[in-house]
Structure 1
Amino acid sequence: MKKSTCRGCGAPIVWIKTTAGKSMPCDAEPVLYKAREGAAGKIVTPNGEVLSCDLDVGPDEATGIGYISHFVTCPQAEQFRRKGAPKDGSHGN
């Protein structure tokens, strides 16, 4: 996992290679999540899977630790988004 700084907002980010082989910028701080099919939240696992999940869960509910796509949290995300890319940060995965 490569660490860097967002060129748009200056936040620390990590780059995670997805299972599709693309590098995705994610917020540097890992978060707890509960995997749930069809959930609105998305998480990127350290091994590159993009999962639907519930965020803001406690340690007793969590099914893992992952990273939130920086496209979701960056106030400057639109300047980096490719045409046709989903706004939820999932990149269609």
Structure 2
Amino acid sequence: MIVRNCNRCGAAITFVRTKKGKAMPCDAQAMPYRVAPGGPVNIMKPDGELVRGYWLESGTGDGVGYRPHWASCRTP
């Protein structure tokens, strides 16, 4: 996985290929999650599927995924 820096905020990001073949910029650190339809956050799974759910503090939950970077970008 290639890690780069966001051109706007400088944070470490990576790109995950979506099911439609697009490159989605995501935060570089994968985090555990739990899928919950209608959940409060978007989660990009490593296989490119975007699901809704919750981030977990620890454990494995339903797997590890990436937060789309637009949700956390702190543009200066």
State whether TM-score is above 0.5.
yes
Which structure is larger by alpha-carbon Rg, 1 or 2? 1
Q: Which residue of 2 aligns with 1:31?
A: 31
- Spell out the pairing of 1:51-66 with structure 2 (5 A cutoff): 51-59=51-59, 62-66=61-65
Runs (5+) with no aligned partner, structure 1: 77-93
Question: Which structure is higher in strand share?
Answer: 2
8 Å contact 1:34–1:57 — kept in the other structure?
no
- The sequence identity of aligned pairs, in percent, is 33
Letter of the 2:62 partner, please give it: T
- Separation (CA, whole Å) in 2 of partners of 1:20 and 1:57: 30
Structure 1 stretch 1-10 or stretch 26-35: which is displaced more? 1-10
Superposed CA offset, 1:57-87 (max 9, x none) = 4316x111000010000022xxxxxxxxxxx
Superposed CA offset, 1:4-62 (max 9, x none) = 110001111000110121111000001010011111111001111100011134316x1
Question: What's the TM-score, normalizing by structure 2?
Answer: 0.89
Runs (4 or more) in structure 1 with deviation over 3 Å come to none
Letter of the 1:54 partner, please give it: Y
Runs (5+) with no aligned partner, structure 2: none
Question: What's the TM-score, normalizing by structure 1?
Answer: 0.74
8 Å contact 1:2–1:16 — kept in the other structure?
no
- Spell out the pairing of 1:1-93 with structure 2 (5 A cutoff): 1-59=1-59, 62-76=61-75
Work out which structure has the larger RCO, using CA pairs closer than 8 Å and 6 or more positions apart in sequence.
2
- Separation (CA, whole Å) in 2 of partners of 1:63 and 1:57: 13
